[in-house]
Chains A and B, each alone.
Chain A
């Protein structure tokens, strides 16, 4: 393939292609220094003896020999696995329903997924603490109506963690599955029906099968993200639900044991990578997607199809029974009904925080005895909170600029490049999304400690930019993908040079995508806690860091007021971003 293009294209074309890829170099360098290097160093530390600097596997021996660590590892895998499973089970029908909606309506309904997706984990977790706590919303309602005598234990146990984790992860699962499902030609299901397959059978044999790549990708992403979670287990879990990331934080912050933190991080990173590989092997992503390469490998495929046809036949029978029991009308209501329940589950908890922020009480009781602006006043009059807020805005603003510039140039480079390097570079830029944040954060902490960047705004900006680059790249690349390259060629034939083409044609046309990318990066930074915990030091806190500190100390209504402010800022940004993104879709 490349041989053909080399012989057919003159040398100049080769240089052009190289030039295009040069645009990605700043980003590659940035990620190499502030992402690859710190993570690699952290892994290196895990095999070094902290006392004498010699090679040593003592940290790993300690993990293997200590029951507690192995148990935490097991808990982490178990929780992440269950979270992935439940997120898929709940998210699949919702994604299916959304994918079938008419385009205009879908855009609007999608906000019910997008808003929870971008809502800060802290705010979401805080909401669940208010709902599930011993004197929380559910227990007040239950004891108030004398449905139960004793408050139920809904928090600080496995139930609480699962509710919080699944709530946090369903949006990610839905948003990963949705593009795949939207790409499935619905006439295929109709075709299966005209050929004699009952609706339920047609769904499983055709639609479900074709949606599997999305399901696998969603499961993988949710699993990996869950591995690195610490906010939800810290607040909604008990001792039995301690996860790996919490151990890492303790090792770094309280015990300053770098070597051991490195070893734990390595385990987490390894787990993430292994699950990537295993997923690919079991599900054979490209096989399911209909990739040409491995399709022919007979037996596994036959087995898969056989299992699927068994499920489909059973589903058809079940569908017929359900239909005869409930009637056609009720059956048609099942899916929308379920989806609205899921949406309520995703949206309502956060909204519940709003009335609590306006409570006149000293406590977070529900329903509030009266309403007032006391707690907003407390927030706005507290120098600590206001400084944290200003810092968060400033850091998010600079981060958004940096990430949009780096991601934008990288997207431009990749859009103009047809070499096999392009795919590799794209994957490299997405890597900060796959590597657990806690690993990046600890690595950066170690690096920044030696560069003197701890407790500086610059350190925060750098860390947040690493995390935001994948979002900006994906957003801008999506717009550039629909951008007609011939417009650039037309501009060139009409006499515009490279720079004039970029400023006069390309940028105005992809402006919406750039603004959307900027806002997504802004939200990413504004919400970010993990890096902030480590890098901001004790003094220069950001809004999420201040919330985290307060939540650990004691729940108070100020937190509700802050949550409302954060929620409103993020939601407003998101709505604007979505508007810009959809307006700049060029097809």
Chain B
């Protein structure tokens, strides 16, 4: 184990590992909330834990910050094993889903709270609170109480309360879940800015794949209490390793079938040519094609027949939904210049073989 860790250190020497999770596991009686999982987060990195509800992402977050006791494994922060350290001594920051602002304290007092807990002198507290307020553009609301603020403002106070004491890691548990779409997009940019300006290390939990793609340096995709795939947003989108990953991130057309061990996959819709060099661990495999890679007409010998059932115009693109012979759906994304078929029209769709991905 020590070997593996030191080897990892040499690889990421430019960016030392801020947080290392080794074989971390949580069981409640017979149920497992998190299978043994390992990952490493570099200094200054923005890592997102993405997954559906019950996938273990929140459990992993709570194990890292110490709100939940570890069953097995280790949490190492800045090279020190913190697995048994109580929450309040871990020096992590947590932004809660519903902000968890103290209703009996003003905005400024909320932000001063972590500094006071650390026994910082009054003058320093005042200075850093006003800096933090300025950072989130809320200087004029210092004396207000949380309930007097809008949802977006409360969110910013929660962020300021977390950034103000510069914890070694900042954890965020679906912090934008309660906001409406427009505000959410605005706050995504705001959080990215705070991340860039402070250089802090952030572990972010969300079930929103668009949010994950937009914000993360890396995404840790989770499903069924374990890590499904870990990689940059581009890696996960373009090279999903499993059908779940392909399906959860973005829209995917997935054809299940049997791999011949060579260059083709036998499916209910016919035999498809696989990308060059495609390999899979099992013979039962699936082919993933993103809607934007589908074209009208056969390509590289790949073709499926369908009938247009719905056309969704979305400005920059037009989405065509076709029903295949077995009743399943196919989604195509057509550019503004492409010819759009009519509803009920029979179509043939195909794709360049190298634009598809073979997954387990």
Contact of B100 among A188, A209, A296 (CB under 8 A): A188
Q: Which residue from chain B places its CB closest to the CB of A206 in the assembled complex?
A: B102
**Residues of chain A with a CB closer than 8 A to B104's CB:** 206, 209-210, 288, 290
Q: Which residue from chain B places its CB closest to the CB of A196 in the assembled complex?
A: B117
Q: Known interface pairs A196-B165, A197-B88, A197-B117. Does A292 touch B148 (Cβ–Cβ under 8 Å)?
A: yes
Q: Known interface pairs A195-B165, A196-B118. Does A190 touch B88 (Cβ–Cβ under 8 Å)?
A: no
One digit per residue, 1 when the CB lies within 8 angstroms of any chain B CB and 0 when it does not, for chain A 175-199 equals 0000000000101101111111111
- Distance in angstroms between the alpha carbons of A230 and B104 in the assembled complex: 40
- Distance in angstroms between the alpha carbons of A196 and B113 in the assembled complex: 9
Q: Which residue from chain A places its CB closest to the CB of B62 in the assembled complex?
A: A190
Contact yes or no, B88 A202, CB < 8 A? yes
Q: Check: A581 CB closer than 8 A to any chain B CB.
A: no
Contact yes or no, B117 A201, CB < 8 A? yes
Q: Known interface pairs A292-B148, A295-B145. Does A193 touch B103 (Cβ–Cβ under 8 Å)?
A: no
Q: Check: B86 CB closer than 8 A to any chain A CB.
A: yes
Stretch from B6-14, B41-49, B91-99 forming part of the interface with A: B91-99
- Distance in angstroms between the alpha carbons of A195 and B93 in the assembled complex: 6
- Distance in angstroms between the alpha carbons of A295 and B103 in the assembled complex: 11
- Distance in angstroms between the alpha carbons of A206 and B89 in the assembled complex: 18
Contact of B96 among A187, A290, A296 (CB under 8 A): A187
Q: Which residue from chain A places its CB closest to the CB of B99 in the assembled complex?
A: A191
Q: Check: B87 CB closer than 8 A to any chain A CB.
A: yes
Least distance between B204 CB and chain A CB atoms (Å): 15
Within 8 A of B (CB), among A47-81: none
- Distance in angstroms between the alpha carbons of A215 and B118 in the assembled complex: 30
- Distance in angstroms between the alpha carbons of A309 and B113 in the assembled complex: 11
**Residues of chain B with a CB closer than 8 A to A185's CB:** 98, 100
Q: Which residue from chain B places its CB closest to the CB of A187 in the assembled complex?
A: B100
Q: Which residue from chain B places its CB closest to the CB of A188 in the assembled complex?
A: B100
**Residues of chain B with a CB closer than 8 A to A309's CB:** 116
Least distance between A308 CB and chain B CB atoms (Å): 10
Least distance between B109 CB and chain A CB atoms (Å): 8
The number of chain A residues touching the other chain, given as a range, is 20 to 34
- Distance in angstroms between the alpha carbons of A195 and B90 in the assembled complex: 9
Q: Check: B161 CB closer than 8 A to any chain A CB.
A: yes
Q: Check: B231 CB closer than 8 A to any chain A CB.
A: no
- Distance in angstroms between the alpha carbons of A206 and B98 in the assembled complex: 16
Contact yes or no, B113 A210, CB < 8 A? no
**Residues of chain B with a CB closer than 8 A to A198's CB:** 86, 88
Q: Known interface pairs A187-B98, A206-B102, A290-B104. Does A193 touch B147 (Cβ–Cβ under 8 Å)?
A: no
Within 8 A of A (CB), among B161-181: 161, 165
Q: Known interface pairs A206-B102, A290-B103, A290-B104. Does A194 touch B88 (Cβ–Cβ under 8 Å)?
A: yes
Contact yes or no, B100 A190, CB < 8 A? yes
Contact yes or no, A191 B94, CB < 8 A? yes
Contact yes or no, A196 B114, CB < 8 A? yes
Least distance between B163 CB and chain A CB atoms (Å): 12
Q: Known interface pairs A187-B98, A209-B104, A210-B103. Does A195 touch B113 (Cβ–Cβ under 8 Å)?
A: yes
Give the dominant DSSP class at A's interface: helix
Q: Check: B133 CB closer than 8 A to any chain A CB.
A: no
Q: Check: B67 CB closer than 8 A to any chain A CB.
A: yes
**Residues of chain A with a CB closer than 8 A to B92's CB:** 194
Which of B67, B89, B100, B113 has the most C-beta atoms of chain A within 10 angstroms of its own C-beta?
B100
Contact yes or no, B148 A194, CB < 8 A? no
Contact of B93 among A194, A197, A199 (CB under 8 A): A194
Contact of A290 among B65, B117, B147 (CB under 8 A): B147
Q: Known interface pairs A202-B88, A206-B102. Does A195 touch B96 (Cβ–Cβ under 8 Å)?
A: no
**Residues of chain B with a CB closer than 8 A to A193's CB:** 67, 86-88
Which of A188, A199, A292, A309 has the most C-beta atoms of chain B within 10 angstroms of its own C-beta?
A188
Contact of A190 among B87, B143, B147 (CB under 8 A): B87
Contact yes or no, B117 A194, CB < 8 A? no
Contact yes or no, A191 B145, CB < 8 A? no
Least distance between A296 CB and chain B CB atoms (Å): 8
- Distance in angstroms between the alpha carbons of A292 and B67 in the assembled complex: 32
One digit per residue, 1 when the CB lies within 8 angstroms of any chain A CB and 0 when it does not, for chain B 122-135 equals 00000000000000
**Residues of chain B with a CB closer than 8 A to A199's CB:** 86, 88
Contact of A194 among B87, B103, B116, B118 (CB under 8 A): B87
- Distance in angstroms between the alpha carbons of A288 and B104 in the assembled complex: 7
One digit per residue, 1 when the CB lies within 8 angstroms of any chain B CB and 0 when it does not, for chain A 273-292 equals 00000000000000010101
**Residues of chain B with a CB closer than 8 A to A210's CB:** 103-104
- Distance in angstroms between the alpha carbons of A40 and B10 in the assembled complex: 87
One digit per residue, 1 when the CB lies within 8 angstroms of any chain A CB and 0 when it does not, for chain B 175-194 equals 00000000000000000000
Q: Which residue from chain A places its CB closest to the CB of B111 in the assembled complex?
A: A195
**Residues of chain A with a CB closer than 8 A to B116's CB:** 309
Within 8 A of A (CB), among B250-292: none
Q: Known interface pairs A201-B117, A290-B147. Does A194 touch B94 (Cβ–Cβ under 8 Å)?
A: yes
**Residues of chain A with a CB closer than 8 A to B65's CB:** 194
- Distance in angstroms between the alpha carbons of A292 and B104 in the assembled complex: 10
Contact of B114 among A195, A206, A296 (CB under 8 A): A195
Contact yes or no, B96 A191, CB < 8 A? yes
Q: Which residue from chain B places its CB closest to the CB of A212 in the assembled complex?
A: B104
Q: Which residue from chain A places its CB closest to the CB of B146 in the assembled complex?
A: A290
Contact yes or no, B93 A192, CB < 8 A? no
**Residues of chain A with a CB closer than 8 A to B91's CB:** 196
3 closest cross-chain pairs (CB), A and B = A196-B117, A191-B100, A195-B114
List 19 contacting pairs A-B, 8 Å CB cutoff, sorted by A. Answer: A185-B98, A187-B96, A187-B100, A190-B67, A190-B96, A190-B100, A194-B90, A194-B94, A195-B93, A196-B88, A196-B89, A196-B117, A196-B165, A199-B88, A202-B88, A206-B104, A209-B104, A290-B147, A292-B147
Given contacts A194-B65, A196-B89, 11 further A-B contacts (CB under 8 A): A187-B100, A191-B100, A192-B102, A193-B67, A194-B94, A195-B88, A195-B114, A199-B88, A210-B104, A290-B147, A296-B143
